[in-house]
Amino acid sequence: MIGTTRPTHYHVLLDEVGFSADDLQELVHSLSYVYQRSTTAISVVAPICYAHLAATQLGQWMKFEDASETSSSHNGTGPGGGPAVPPMPKLQESVRNSMFFC
């Protein structure tokens, strides 16, 4: 992870803040330096890394059924005819505003 910065290309789908291209570039550049586990810039902005860590932890705590469309073990179906997605559990207050996955 350390020393792996590289050029990035972004497509802005909706700009609610009104960033100019230079402002967005500066924000992304700054966010690549705020990752807690690295003292240098990283290749992906820190919020993405933290989301990945949280998803990994959630995957270890929860057991998801096989989500393949050919599986016959699902009782419900989602809007597209595929298996229904289980609701996400509510976070406890003690971890809601903390970086418990770091």
**Pairwise CA distance, residues 71 & 93, whole Å:** 36
In the numeric block, the tokens 């789908």 are attached to: 13
Per residue in 28-51, pLDDT (tens digit) is 888 888 888 888 888 888 888 888
At residue 100, the pLDDT reads 62
Range of the domain at 60: 1-65
Top pLDDT among 64 and 58 is at 58
| Number of compact structural domains in the chain | 1
Residue 37 to residues 20, 29, 45, 80, 102: CA-CA distances in angstroms? 30, 17, 12, 40, 8
Judge whether 74 lies within some domain.
no
